[in-house]
Amino acid sequence: MRVNVKGVALGIKHAARVMIPRGVGCIISTASVAGVTGGLGPHAYTASKHAIVGLTKNTACELGRYGIRVNCISPFGLATPMLVNAWRTRSDEEEDCMNFGLPCHQEVEKMEEFVRGLANLKGTTLRAEDIAEAAVYLASDESKLPNSWKWPRSRLLGTESDNDVKKHGYGQ
């Protein structure tokens, strides 16, 4: 919670202090689909990512009046060392496929195959570069409308706006 939630909250706070006088800005945080869909992670992880989504929604409403967009990227599954290590079994550990704490190529491929099987967009593997490209888009002038959107809300690069935010006219 200290890193995930407090770190994001402090980042937003200090970015807003600089952006409010300028009347423009874009703040992007990273959560996880686990923060909007139950059952995808441990309780502490899920709670911290859910807190980031809530903080993003609230901050978007608060800072929108100053011309500042606040969005959150919530990826599904990336075959990162953290995810691969979380899914390792005792037999995997006994094989000691790790290389200086990093998963070996076979473990990454196995995890990518697993995640690809759960994805909405069949045949597509979500990679870190995809998340970086989503952030670049959200930070660009091309995306002047999205505010308090969770990217991606679906399991891959889909989006879904927050109905409460739209209903109240925020993020328009």
- The label of the residue with tokens 């995306």 reads 143
Whole-number Å distance between alpha carbons of 172 and 169: 6
Whole-number Å distance between alpha carbons of 39 and 47: 11
What are the backbone angles phi and psi of residue 168, rounded to the nearest 5°?
-90, 0
Nearest residue to 112 (alpha-carbon basis) of 96, 123, 97: 123
Give yes or no: 45 in active site: yes
DSSP 8-state secondary structure symbol assigned to residue 34? G
Q: How many alpha carbons lie under 13 Å from residue 160 in its C-beta half-sphere?
A: 12
DSSP 8-state secondary structure symbol assigned to residue 99? B
**CA distances to 1, 15, 120 from 28, in Å:** 18, 10, 24
Q: Which token pair is 41?
A: 């992670």
**Residues 45, 66, 137, 170: which is the catalytic one?**
45
Q: Which residues are catalytic?
A: 45
